[in-house]
Amino acid sequence: MSSTTKASRIGEELWKTRVDKVNAELVTLTYGTIVAQLCQDYDGNYQEVNKQLEKMGYNIGMRLIEDFLAKSNVGRCANFRETADMISKVGFRIFLNIAPTVTNWTSDNNQFSLVFDENPLADFVELPDDGRAQDELWFSNILCGVLRGALEMVQMQIEAHFVSDVLRGDDTTEMRVSLVRYIEDEMPPEEE
Amino acid sequence: MTVFSLIIINKAGGLIYQREFQPGLRKLSTNDYLVLAGTFHGVHAITRTITPKLPLLTPTATASTPTSASSNLASPSGTSTPIPPTTTTTTTTTTSVAATTYTYPIPGVPATGLESLETDKFRLTCFQTLTGTKFLLFTDPHMANIEVVMKKIYEFYADFVMKNPFYQLEMPVRCEAFDRNMNGWLRGRT
């Protein structure tokens, strides 16, 4: 509990003092355009669109983590629960000004859900009415990639996917995050 | 208040950036800088592995051994056993495991490796980010608040290098804005 409140405080402080703000509509429209363009480019192959969004997110995450660390000045998390709090209360807070709820932990503490009460990426969005987008497209899939990329850079291999989205008519927007393993220092093979 | 130069080493030990901040400093050859980066990377890794480790005796392990033994002894006399009957076997395994496991003096805080190196003439401060990138700053040995400079440089790096979409990760840094901003800021401090 204390790590949660500590994370909240850090996130709050950073948001107020260190973060450059940008117009929310610009973000929403830019992201919406990207997704719409991908849907067009891949001719409505939504699986492929999901994959591309995840990949884009991955590349963002690998870079964004340095900004996160440089700004927040936080140390290494002691366990995955602390990591989850950091992601929600500091990460999402400073980059999107939201703090998704961390919930549904598995008993081994290796899997949790992020439940998004609000999602700035999806404001104004209605999925296409072609009978497939509602079932196949994960509109905010870029976020899964961001988490994967960012955590990989701090030696955590994770898997993230959406399990529900209010855009599809679900009650909540929920992302499932699972820790695959901690990446140990690995010697590059050519240094043998 | 002198910052001589800066070296950035990627997580594989490759030199990705090198700059002097004082005019006319004697330069090493490019090859020497590469060797320096690689050598430092190796030494840094060694200092991490030679960090003294203590045998792991966690409070739970030390506490459970005597209590479970005593409760097993006490159970015939009618007292309730809080620990399941299998403890006799597990107790022996935990002690043997504990004897072969070692931990750092403060568990939970991983070993950092070499942080600073000092001579009469200069001090080398190493800051390793959680992502594995190392910043080596050569300064005057009497300079104070190096961590402030280091933190600012890391921020410049995050901004002008990592956020430059055309910078390829782990490759040499050739970002003019990074140089310009860092130079300007360092000059402003002196």
Query: Does residue B86 lie in a domain region?
Result: no
* B136: containing domain: 3-55+105-188
Q: Best residue in B44, B46, B103, B131 to probe A by mutation, most A CBs within 10 Å?
A: B131
Quick one: A68 exposed, middle or buried, by C-beta within 10 A (0-12, 13-18, 19+)? buried
Domain count across chain B: 1
pLDDT at B82 over 60: no
Please check whether residue B156 lies inside any domain of the structure.
yes
Q: How many of the other CB atoms lie within 10 Å of CB of B98? A: 17
Q: How far is CA B64 from CA B83, B86, B95, in A?
A: 10, 13, 10
Query: For chain A, what is the radius of gyration of the CA atoms?
Result: 17
Fold (CATH) for A1-180: Muramoyl-pentapeptide Carboxypeptidase; domain 2 (3.30.1380)
A69·B154 Cβ contact <8 A: yes
In the block, tokens 């929920």 appear at: A174
Interchain proximity B158–A76, CB inside 8 Å: no
**pLDDT for position B71:** 40
The percent of residues in chain A predicted with pLDDT above 90, rounded, is 76
In a domain, B71, yes or no: no
| Tens digit of each residue's pLDDT (9 = 90 or more) over B134-170 | 999 999 999 889 999 999 999 999 999 999 999 999 9
Q: Which of A11-15, A62-66, A187-191 has the lowest mean pLDDT?
A: A187-191
Q: How far is A153 from chain B (nearest CA, A)?
A: 5
Residues of chain B neighbouring A66 (CB-CB closer than 8 A) = 129, 131, 133, 154, 157-158, 162
Cα(A84)–Cα(A3) distance, rounded to whole angstroms? 10
CATH value at residue B123: 3.30.450.70
* HSE of A50, CA atoms in CB hemisphere, 13 A: 13
Identify residue A47 by its one-letter amino acid code: Q
Mean pLDDT of chain A: 91
Torsion of CA A162, A165, A167, A170, to 10 degrees: 150
Of A64, A69, A78, the CB nearest to B129: A69
